[in-house]
């Protein structure tokens, strides 16, 4: 069994984005491409000799091949043990659970999240550290530097191992433990939530639920937990068999891409609860009977109802949200008298706050929420959280949300995405807008006075690191905001995200249509940034 060193040379496009390296499968299929990134990752981790690594992915096309490559390289680079999900499968939250449970040194997660899969789709890879969370910026920067100078990588001259056999195998000097992909995760969920109360709710004949796994990784997790363990009616989980191309779909749980579920939930006699998760199982969308819960409201309502949940009923240390997420959770934090943090987009920024116990719940407008139970966002966890709230409060989702608005006011919120616009145009738009920002302060625009306008910069209160250029913000005296960012997860051209928010506390004005309530700010955003003029787009690709 020989360790071999393969000569290689750098690729110039291996800079990790918001969440690792995401590219077209065809790019990853280039000779040495994946290997270079994996070796650069190992090179950035210091001494890995004798350490344990976790490996798994969302099962998309190229997943199994990548797992085999990583196993041989891990062995050749000195890891003592690798824990792999059966058939190379682990949802992103499950990978975080397994890293933490085994005190592993870190993990490699293979996923391009909600991006479409298949031979012409996307693939992705990211490194998570020993706390179970995405590598912080100092590590991702070091990985990128390594990719720019790499000249060889280490691997084994050895046949592939069988990823289907649960149990222990040997690969060179390294032990490979193939584990059940679901059981550790399911065990943790049973510790956090009141499974008895949820089972009683699911057994009630008037309660119906539909969970759309979108042919992605959450299917086996949702079937085991919701149907087998909690007794939800068979068929509650739809599209529950993971496919390497996600059935040709786009497993992004939002109102546009989760159309099958949305059609069910906005029909007559809709179920009480509808939910969907994404490609790698870390996102969630929550729907009631003819009712959509925005991710920002979802986080606020989870926090306000923490007393319903066994794991959180003794109180939250704080709430953290990404900067473009609405300020609805801030109002709950204020009432609870707990810390509230505003971080850049990217789950990695929550890790320090969670580790330092300065936040218990975290969330993002991009359909992500999670807690200190792991260091990733967690789709099914959010669904169980809502089920537990419903079991305790015995009200409909719409009633719970509307009652929340009556108490706290409503943060009308929308995100407009313009996908696949040419990168140079997107850059020009952002540069020109940023140049305008200093002149805006004090002006009255869309009937509001601009209080601040800047490029968001984050000072991490735990390690005092600074992350600059995290999005252009225009904030108004009344708390309304318009935010512009370029996505860090797209693989085609650039995706411009425009986030718009306005607060309303008048009890008679809480039931408006969101797009209408925000229409003046939406028009202002277009005018200020010249979206239509520069991109030629007259409407967004996706509105959430």
Binding residues for ligand G16, rule: CB under 6 A, are: 18-19, 113-114, 278, 282-283, 345-347, 364, 366, 368, 487-489, 497
**Which of 249, 264, 34 is closest to 150 using CA atoms?**
34
CB of 348 to ligand G16, least distance (A): 7
Q: Which two tokens stand for residue 228?
A: 């087998």
Buried b / exposed e along 45-55 (16+ C-beta atoms within 10 A): beebeebbbbb
* Residue placing its CB nearer to ligand G16 in the complex, 43 or 491: 491
CB of 162 to ligand G16, least distance (A): 29
Pairing of strands 174-179, 106-110: unpaired
* Residue placing its CB nearer to ligand G16 in the complex, 105 or 347: 347
* Residue placing its CB nearer to ligand G16 in the complex, 91 or 487: 487
- What is d(CA 87, CA 85) in angstroms, rounded to the nearest whole number? 6
CB of 364 to ligand G16, least distance (A): 4
CB of 47 to ligand G16, least distance (A): 28
User: Which are the contacts of 219, defined by CB distance < 8 A and separation ≥ 6?
Assistant: 213, 237, 239, 240, 241, 242
CB of 65 to ligand G16, least distance (A): 21
Contact call for residues 231 and 203 (beta carbons, < 8 A): yes
* Residue placing its CB nearer to ligand G16 in the complex, 488 or 493: 488
Spot the catalytic one: 44, 91, 96, 113.
Answer: 113
Contact call for residues 195 and 217 (beta carbons, < 8 A): no
* Residue placing its CB nearer to ligand G16 in the complex, 153 or 349: 349
CB of 34 to ligand G16, least distance (A): 19
Phi, psi (deg, nearest 5) at residue 157: -90, 85
**Cα 153–chain centre separation:** 31
- What is d(CA 150, CA 154) in angstroms, rounded to the nearest whole number? 11
Taking each helix axis from N to C end, the angle separating 195-203 and 379-393, rounded to the nearest 10 degrees, works out to: 70
Q: Which two tokens stand for residue 55?
A: 């490996």
- Whether 113 sits among the annotated catalytic residues: the reply is yes
**Cα 185–chain centre separation:** 17
* Residue placing its CB nearer to ligand G16 in the complex, 282 or 460: 282
CB of 351 to ligand G16, least distance (A): 11
Strand partners, 343: 322
Helices and strands in the chain, H and E counts: 18, 27
**Which of 418, 490, 495 is closest to 24 using CA atoms?**
490
* Residue placing its CB nearer to ligand G16 in the complex, 288 or 344: 344
Centre a 10 Å sphere on the Cβ of residue 407 and count the other Cβ atoms it contains.
11
- What is d(CA 333, CA 324) in angstroms, rounded to the nearest whole number? 17
By annotation, the residues acting in catalysis are 113
């Amino acid at each position: 069994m020989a360790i071999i060193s393969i000569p290689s040379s750098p690729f110039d496009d291996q800079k990790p984005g918001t969440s690792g390296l995401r590219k077209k499968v065809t790019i990853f299929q280039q000779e040495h491409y994946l290997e270079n990134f994996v070796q650069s990752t190992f090179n950035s981790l210091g001494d890995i000799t004798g350490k344990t690594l976790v490996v798994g992915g969302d099962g998309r096309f190229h997943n199994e091949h990548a797992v085999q490559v990583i196993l041989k390289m891990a062995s050749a680079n000195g890891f003592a043990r690798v824990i792999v999900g059966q058939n190379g499968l682990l949802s992103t939250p499950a990978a975080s659970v397994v890293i933490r449970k085994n005190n592993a040194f870190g993990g490699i997660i293979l996923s391009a999240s909600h991006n479409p899969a298949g031979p012409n789709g996307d693939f992705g890879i990211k490194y998570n550290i020993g706390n179970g969370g995405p590598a912080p910026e100092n590590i991702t920067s070091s990985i990128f530097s390594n990719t720019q100078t790499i000249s060889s990588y280490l691997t084994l001259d050895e046949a592939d191992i069988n990823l289907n056999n649960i149990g222990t195998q040997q690969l060179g000097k390294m032990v490979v433990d193939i584990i059940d992909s679901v059981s550790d995760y399911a065990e943790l969920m049973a510790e956090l939530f009141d499974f008895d109360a949820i089972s009683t709710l699911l057994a009630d004949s008037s309660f119906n639920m539909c969970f759309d796994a979108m042919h992605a990784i959450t299917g086996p997790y949702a079937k085991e937990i919701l149907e087998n363990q909690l007794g939800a009616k068979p068929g509650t989980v739809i599209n529950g068999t993971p496919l390497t191309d996600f059935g040709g779909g786009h497993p992004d749980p939002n109102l546009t891409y989760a159309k099958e579920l949305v059609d069910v939930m906005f029909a007559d006699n809709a179920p009480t609860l509808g939910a969907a998760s994404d490609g790698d199982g870390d996102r969630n969308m929550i729907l009631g009977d003819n009712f959509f819960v925005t991710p920002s409201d979802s986080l606020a309502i989870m926090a306000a109802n923490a007393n319903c949940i066994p794991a959180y009923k003794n109180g939250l240390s704080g709430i953290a949200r990404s900067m473009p997420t609405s300020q609805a959770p801030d109002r709950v934090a204020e009432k609870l008298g707990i810390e509230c943090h505003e971080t850049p987009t990217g789950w990695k920024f929550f890790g320090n706050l969670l580790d330092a116990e300065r936040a218990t719940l975290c969330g993002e407008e991009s359909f992500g929420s999670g807690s200190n139970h792991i260091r990733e966002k967690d789709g099914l966890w959010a669904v169980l959280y809502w089920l537990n709230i419903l079991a305790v409060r015995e009200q409909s989702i719409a009633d719970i949300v509307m009652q929340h608005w009556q108490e706290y006011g409503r943060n009308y919120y929308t995100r407009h995405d313009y996908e696949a616009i040419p990168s140079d145009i997107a850059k020009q738009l952002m540069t020109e807008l940023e140049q305008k920002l200093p002149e805006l302060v004090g002006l009255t625009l869309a009937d509001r006075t601009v209080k601040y306008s800047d490029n968001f910069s984050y000072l991490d209160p735990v390690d005092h690191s600074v992350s600059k250029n995290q999005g252009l913000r225009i904030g108004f005296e009344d708390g309304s905001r318009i935010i512009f960012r370029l996505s860090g997860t797209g693989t085609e051209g650039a995706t411009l995200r425009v986030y718009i928010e306005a607060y309303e506390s008048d009890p008679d004005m809480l039931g408006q249509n969101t797009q209408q309530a925000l229409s003046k700010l939406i028009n202002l955003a277009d005018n200020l940034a010249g979206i239509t003029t520069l991109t030629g787009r007259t409407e967004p690709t996706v509105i959430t």
